[in-house]
Amino acid sequence: MQKTFHIKNVDRTRIYPLGVSFEEEGLRVSAVCEGPEETGILLYDRRHRDGVRIPFPENGRVGAVCAMLLLGYHDRTCCYLFYSGEKVYQDPFCKRVCNPYGYGEPKPDLPRCQPVLGAYDWRDDKNRHIPYEDMLIYALHVRGFTKHRSSGVKWKGTYAGVTEKIPYMQELGINMALLMPCYEFDEIMPENTAQTMEQAILSYKQELPLDDEKEKKKPRVNYWGYQPGLYYVPKSAYAHSKDAAEEFKDMVRAFHKAGISVAMQFYFPPEMRAVETLDILKYWVLEYHIDGFHLMSATLPMDLIAGEPLLSETMLLTGNGCVCAGDTKTRNQGFLSDGFLYDMRRFIKGDDNVINSFLFHLRENKDEVGVVNSIARWDGFRLADLVSYDRKHNEENGENNQDGVDYNCSWNCGVEGKSRKKSILELRLRQMKNAVTILLMSQGTPLLYSGDEFANTQGGNNNPYCQDNDTAWIKWNHTETGKELLAYTKFMIGMRKEHRVLHGRTFLRGIDTLSCGFPDISFHGREAWRPDTSSASRCMGIMYCGFYAVEGGQEEEHFLYIAVNMHWQADYLGLPKLPKGKQWTYAASTGKETPEIEETPAASQEICVPARTIVLCTTKDAPVETEKNGRKKSKKNRGDEKDL
């Protein structure tokens, strides 16, 4: 039982900011005090190991906010909680937490809060700003990214472990790491709490009643963390050291040094006040040098958030319906395109009547907001599972496979789950390469979920919100079996970076605005310039004109031609005639075949695209031959002089 001390050396102080911090004169305490009960701070230090109650003085109250200054108090080893009557609770505005419990351990006592200590030495680090058109997002779960035994890092499942993997991400070519929730939240949840992704985001509450029977059962964890928490504190269980805040800052600084920005996911309950949401985001930008946020909530004050000058260069990513009228100058808002995710999945597996949706999403871009595309994310099948399972397999979640999305627009390529058949494995690899190609060749900002680049799998589980184990962890030993997909993903990221026309800021209009003889983007069918957009069409040629890579000028760059065939039979596509001195050349294919560029009797060219394959062609200078008088002339294409 704690004693209550009415200390005489308690003075009035300023009300804001809320929380507890050391001042030159002593310890400043400020909190919201609603209700008639006595409210104050429960202070733990070397003299009061069981805690001492210090109530707020009545003259320190303004409205529902109370504040006091404990004069001369400078014990920096202290911890604290707040109390109101008999209720004890954590300070929602605390900046540090002393959490002696490991990840997934039940917490018989509330982890205590700690005041902020000394400032962190950021050296020359500063926030990074990468525009949406240049961004390549790589989403990861801090714990699951390196927790697997094959991760090869020293500090598995921690911020330090993520830091050890930065060279890998740098080599992959991404420039924005998106961290799933890593603010302080209680991962322990009651047993038999059935949750879908939507329920976890919209309706999960931190304090749920437990009956006697439930208390006896082993608790499950909310691995994802889409729930309320202490929003100003990095999650302590994700740190190997005692100071999670410093370890988190070390990680951010290492990311920035490697040229990679850092963004965070935040879930806010509908009752969260708009001003408080804004204060939290500003705090992470200033205190932790965070470069962007993915905000999840049923209600978001985007007018207030997007209009904040401090966040004008901060990525603000939301769902489709949460974007307000954007500013073309700042362009800090963006949205995750669910339409891209589902339509492109359907196109890749060969559904009818998707060709026009494919062409729309391929070039979807907006002047005022960023469009972020993905084909696999945290809330659903992994990329490898999209081509291996027709149905979800969530039995391990303990909900009779009733949780998670029922229809995933997936195709198992003929066998449900694991297979040793060479033909099945080759088809699955081809389909994954097709997905990577479409994602990185589209105009919107690509988002890649960690591990998908080397075919990491969740065994068909499309809702592993409670799976803190091999199911949800990234299995780094798959980099050997998935090395061909990994190499191809690196290649495609390099192609996107190399060709500016693939990631411009403006919408590709399909017209010749430069009067150069070619539109910025054009579509082609069996004959060049004649695309087939019928409901049965699964084949299309897309040409990007490099002249449009430099805004306002006509600086020449290579043309790109993407021959897409999602049909189960091979088909031909016509290649447009190029400017004088240029010719088509093969660049890459998602299949094992090397297609040939063929000439037709009409002196045009076409390419035979194998079934379920994408072929990339680019241009090079045409060879020249010398006439008898010494002059050079362009070498005309002949049937026996194929470039490939």
Q: What is the pLDDT of residues 304-348, one digit of tens each?
A: 999 999 999 999 999 866 777 666 677 899 999 999 999 999 999
- Is residue 79 over pLDDT 60? yes
- State the distance between the two ends of the chain, measured CA to CA, in whole angstroms: 84
Q: Using pLDDT thresholds of 50, 70 and 90, give the confidence band for residue 625.
A: low
Backbone angles phi, psi at 67, to 5 degrees: -145, 150
Look at residues 270, 299, 265, 261 and name the one whose alpha carbon lies nearest to residue 281. Answer: 265
- Residue range 95-124, pLDDT digits in tens: 999 988 999 998 889 999 999 888 899 999
What integer pLDDT is reported at residue 325 of this predicted model? 65
Structure confidence at residue 193 (pLDDT): 46
- If you average pLDDT over residues 523-548, what whole number do you get? 94
Q: Determine the pLDDT at residue 600.
A: 56
Mean pLDDT computed over every residue of the chain? 89
- Indicate the pLDDT class of residue 428, thresholds 50, 70 and 90: very high
Helix ranges, 366-417 (H): 383-386
Looking at residues 356-360, what average pLDDT do you find?
96
Kindly tell me the burial class for residue 506, based on how many C-beta atoms sit within 10 Å of its own C-beta (0-12, 13-18, 19 or more): middle
Q: Work out the burial of residue 515: count CB atoms within 10 Å of its CB; fewer than 13 is exposed, 13-18 middle, 19 or more buried.
A: exposed
Once rounded to an integer, what is the mean pLDDT over residues 374-386? 96
Percent of the residues in the chain that have a pLDDT greater than 90, as a whole number: 73
Indicate the pLDDT class of residue 558, thresholds 50, 70 and 90: confident
Determine the pLDDT at residue 208: 44
What is the rounded distance in angstroms from the CA atom of residue 40 to the CA atom of residue 56?
A: 5
**pLDDT bracket for residue 3 (50, 70, 90):** low
User: For 560-572, what is the mean pLDDT?
Assistant: 96
CA atoms 495, 498, 501, 505: torsion sign: positive
Report yes or no: 300 and 280 within 8 Å, Cβ to Cβ: no
Of the ranges 1-10, 131-140, 254-263, 517-526, which one carries the lowest mean pLDDT score?
Answer: 1-10
Q: How confident is the model at residue 638 (pLDDT cuts 50, 70, 90)?
A: very low
Q: Is the pLDDT of residue 641 over 50?
A: no
CA-nearest of 299, 312, 235 to 267 is 299
CA distances from 103 to 209, 239, 527 (A): 21, 10, 60
Q: Picking from 133-137, 205-209, 412-416, 499-503, which range would have the lowest pLDDT averaged per residue?
A: 205-209
Distance between CA atoms of 57 and 55, rounded to whole angstroms? 6
Q: What does DSSP assign to residue 188?
A: E
The reported pLDDT for the residue numbered 211 is 45
pLDDT above 80 (res 443): yes
Three-state DSSP string of 409-429: CCCCCCCCCCCCCHHHHHHHH
DSSP state of 200: H
148 has a pLDDT exceeding 50: yes
Which regions of 491-538 does DSSP assign to beta strands (E)?
521-524
User: What does the pLDDT look like over 476-533, one tens digit per residue?
Assistant: 998 888 999 999 999 999 999 999 899 988 888 899 988 888 999 999 999 999 999 9
Share of the chain above pLDDT 70, in %: 88
Helical segments of 70-178, H only: 142-146, 159-164, 166-172
For residue 202, what pLDDT is reported?
47
pLDDT tens figures, 252-307: 999 999 999 999 999 999 999 999 999 999 999 999 999 999 999 888 899 999 99
Token pair listed for 457? 């799998």
- Give the lowest-confidence range in 32-41, 173-182, 595-604: 595-604
pLDDT of amino acid 131: 95
Domains annotated for the chain, with CATH where assigned, are 3-114 (2.60.40.10), 135-335 (3.20.20.80), 337-475 (no CATH), 521-634 (2.60.40.1180)
Q: What is the pLDDT of residues 172-230, one digit of tens each?
A: 999 999 999 999 999 998 664 444 555 554 444 344 444 444 444 567 899 999 999 99
Which pLDDT score is estimated for 624?
65
What is the pLDDT at residue 593?
Answer: 82
DSSP string over 324-357: -S--TTT--EEEE-HHHHHHHHHHHTT-SS-HHH
CA–CA separation, 555 and 557 (whole Å)? 7
Q: Can you tell me the mean pLDDT for 589-598?
A: 85
* Average of per-residue pLDDT across 464-485: 93
Q: What single letter denotes the amino acid at residue 289?
A: H
Place of tokens 């596509």: 573
Please tell me the pTM assigned to this model.
Answer: 0.91
- CA 90 to CA 47: how far, in whole Å? 21
| Lowest mean per-residue pLDDT among 86-90, 340-344, 369-373, 592-596 | 592-596
